[in-house]
Amino acid sequence: MKYYLIAGEASGDLHGSRLITALDREDPNAGFRAWGGDLMAAAGAHLVKHYRDLAFMGFAEVVRNLRTIMRNIRDCKKDITAFNPDALILIDYPGFNLRIAKWAKNQGFRVFYYISPQIWAWHSSRVHGIKASVDKMFVILPFEKDFYAKYHYEVEFVGHPLLDIVDNYQDTNPEASFATKEEKPVIALLPGSRKQEIMRMLPLMLQIPRYLPDFRFVIAAAPAIPEGFYRQFLQPESEVPLVYGKTYAILKSAFAAIVTSGTATLETALFGIPQIVCYRGGRASFFVARRLVQVKHISLVNLILDRPLLTELVQHQCTVEAMLQSLNAILDGPGRTHILEGYQQLRQHLGTNGAAERTAKGILRELPAEPGGC
């Protein structure tokens, strides 16, 4: 069968690649075409457009790039029509994918969604469009099944795919570029995966090392962001290394972390690393979001646990002084123990390993079997 996948971010590329691998195992005649990234291409998909050309963050940024976004939607529809897939698989990325879903359903394509848009956080009215356009939704957060049930829409909870990714991680090159002869504990800096996030968060994070000379700080660089973009924020004499392609290696060896809100907060938690969560958005985007967002927390860890396990520093609260105070509170003592105990409860909420495999089998159950095939 032919599968068309759309992911618009680095995390979607990661989870999409594992779903492609799982579908390939279940369907020996599978063919894949995708909007995504390098990982999906390496898994066997013909890559049409890279997610680095699709990622626009925040309300103001979307408005400024609306012409490009609309052109991408038109190009995507044409490409789907030409490929004529048996299954269209959408991965998160709601602003783009929900438009495609509505169009694709009207065109008679089978539409599946892996990793629900966070409509439980804001714009919950979108659930009606999902019910009308998506044949089957596969969710990865435990509370999402109950959320959709309130709207009489049955979804399948498949567990969180990061469980497999983190649990199976092995550093192929333990002599990482951030390692030094100094026996200093590492504090990981994860400023985000988009330029707008990095531009607002990294300068703040880079002010912390001078207050904590007994620790070694390392920047985990997003693979789609050019090195030159980071370098503008680093002083020539800076001793904080910028490391590409080693985020999990950094987290595995870290003692603590400062993390921009996003999927990275959950990854950091699954590696068992105490962290503080930070976020600063553009003034216009934050103004709109504050009036629309319907959840109590910004980090996935706190959302899943439904309590404030991690300190969250948002917008004007996100200052160097607040970051330093919050970080010091988790470097030892009861603050650190409290977080580590909370992480154990977090894993119990996330289901079991095998999310991609369960999703692949669920998709195939919904499709007619090919003559003489799967």
Q: 3-state secondary structure string, the chain? A: CEEEEEECCHHHHHHHHHHHHHHHHHCCCCEEEEEECHHHHHCCCEEEEEHHHCCCCCHHHHHHCHHHHHHHHHHHHHHHHHHCCCEEEEECCHHHHHHHHHHHHHCCCCEEEECCCCCCCCCCCHHHHHHHHCCEEEECCHHHHHHHHCCCCCCEECCCCHHHHHHCCCCCCCCCCCCCCCCCCEEEEECCCCHHHHHHHHHHHCCCHHHCCCCEEEEEECCCCCHHHHHCCCCCCCCCCEEECCHHHHHHHEEEEEEECCHHHHHHHHCCCCEEEEECCCHHHHHHHHHHCCCCCCCHHHHHHCCCCCCEEEHHHCCHHHHHHHHHCCCCHHHHHHHHHHHHHHHHHCCCCCHHHHHHHHHHHHCCCCCCCC
Q: How many domains does the chain have?
A: 2
181 in any annotated domain:
no
Q: Classify residue 167: in a domain, yes or no.
A: no
318/120: higher pLDDT: 318
Same domain, 62 and 190: no
What per-residue confidence (pLDDT) applies to 293? 55
327 and 361 share one domain = no
pLDDT of amino acid 174: 63
How far apart CA 113 and CA 99 sit, in angstroms, is 13
* Domain membership flag for residue 221: yes
204 and 90 part of one domain = no
- 33-85 pLDDT, tens digit each: 999 999 999 999 999 999 987 765 555 555 666 777 789 999 999 999 999 99
Q: Is residue 171 domain-resident?
A: no
Asked if 16 and 105 sit in the same domain, the reply is: yes
Same domain for 119 and 13, yes or no, is: yes
pLDDT given at position 53: 76
- Residues 344, 220, single domain; the answer is yes
Shared-domain flag, residues 287 and 233: yes
Inside any domain, residue 165: no
Q: Which amino acid is at 316?
A: H
In this prediction, residues 213-231 reach a mean pLDDT of 92
Residue 260 sits in a domain of what CATH number?
3.40.50.2000
Domain containing 11: what range? Answer: 2-160+354-366
Residues 110 and 192 occupy one common structural domain: no
Does residue 177 form part of some domain?
no
Give the confidence band of 113 by pLDDT, cuts at 50, 70, 90.
Answer: very high
pLDDT at 262: 85
Does residue 151 share a domain with residue 39? Answer: yes
Looking at the structure, tell me whether residues 146 and 286 fall in a common domain: no
Q: Is residue 229 part of a domain?
A: yes
Region 339-343: mean pLDDT is 98
pLDDT band at residue 342 under the 50/70/90 scheme: very high
**Could you tell me if residue 173 is inside a domain?**
no
Instruction: Let me know whether 361 and 341 are in one domain.
Output: no
Q: How confident is the model at residue 290 (pLDDT cuts 50, 70, 90)?
A: low
Same domain, 39 and 56: yes
